[in-house]
């Protein structure tokens, strides 16, 4: 089945009120979104949803409908960000990280470092390694790790200290060799 066309009155109303609505939406999203680059995308998403709505009924109160749609777009954005954990993403600083081509020697050195860290991690006792991985790689809190493993928070802290000391000593041995 195809999409039902909107009635002409509804389209004319949308066209006539698009300018003020766009300005209002821009302000609405700027107050709620930190990234100005996203504001225009969100405004466009609202208009796309309004135009694509599958209904022959005209909108009774356009302002209320736009507000509900904008809130829905914002909620969808929040869900996407939560799923993608985009709040944890870090912008690549090319000044610090460099944007040079990868030097084969640097790649080899990086691989050797990775193998050394992996070997050092694998040489830890299993519980200490598990605590370290849950904390440093998974980002879990000490209390959550303690609850998950059935140990005290103090024990989690002691395992972390043991792991850090061991890894530091292993890396110092490697760098000194």
Torsion of CA 143, 148, 154, 158, to 10 degrees: -120
Q: What is the pLDDT of residue 4?
A: 44
| Token output for 155 | 């024990």
pTM for this model (two decimals) = 0.43
Q: Which CATH number fits domain 104-168: 2.60.40.10, 3.10.580.20, 1.10.10.10, 1.25.40.420?
A: 1.10.10.10
Indicate whether 6 pLDDT > 60: no
Could you report the per-residue pLDDT of 34-63, keeping only the tens digit for each? 888 888 888 888 888 887 776 656 666 777
End-to-end alpha-carbon separation of the chain, Å? 72
Distance CA 128, CA 51 (A): 57
Mean pLDDT of 98-108: 74
**What proportion of the chain, given as a percentage, has pLDDT over 90?**
25
Q: Do 132 and 160 contact (CB within 8 A), yes or no?
A: yes
Q: Do 120 and 170 contact (CB within 8 A), yes or no?
A: yes
Distance CA 167, CA 161 (A): 10
For residue 94, what are the contacts with CB-CB under 8 A and spacing of at least 6?
none
Lowest mean pLDDT among 19-28, 130-139, 145-154: 19-28
Q: What is the pLDDT of residue 147?
A: 95
Burial degree of 73 (CB within 10 A; 0-12, 13-18, 19+) = buried
Could you report the per-residue pLDDT of 111-143, keeping only the tens digit for each? 988 898 899 999 999 999 999 999 998 889 999
Please report, for the chain, the start and end positions of each structural domain, with discontinuous segments joined by +.
Answer: 8-88, 104-168
């Amino acid at each position: 089945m195809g999409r039902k066309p909107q009635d002409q009155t509804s389209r004319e109303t949308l066209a006539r009120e698009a300018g003020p609505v766009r300005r209002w939406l821009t302000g609405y999203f700027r107050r709620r979104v930190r990234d100005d680059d996203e504001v225009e995308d969100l405004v466009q998403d609202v208009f796309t949803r309004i135009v694509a709505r599958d209904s022959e009924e005209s909108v009774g109160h356009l302002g209320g409908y736009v507000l509900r749609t904008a809130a829905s777009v914002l909620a969808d954005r929040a869900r996407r960000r939560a799923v993608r954990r985009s709040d944890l993403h870090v912008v690549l600083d090319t000044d610090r990280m460099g944007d040079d081509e990868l030097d084969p020697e640097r790649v080899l050195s990086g691989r050797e470092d990775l193998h050394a860290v992996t070997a050092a991690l694998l040489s830890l006792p299993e519980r200490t390694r598990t605590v370290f991985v849950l904390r440093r790689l998974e980002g879990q809190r000490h209390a959550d790790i303690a609850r998950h493993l059935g140990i005290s928070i103090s024990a989690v802290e002691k395992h972390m200290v043991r792991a850090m000391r061991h890894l530091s000593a292993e890396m110092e041995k490697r760098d000194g060799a």
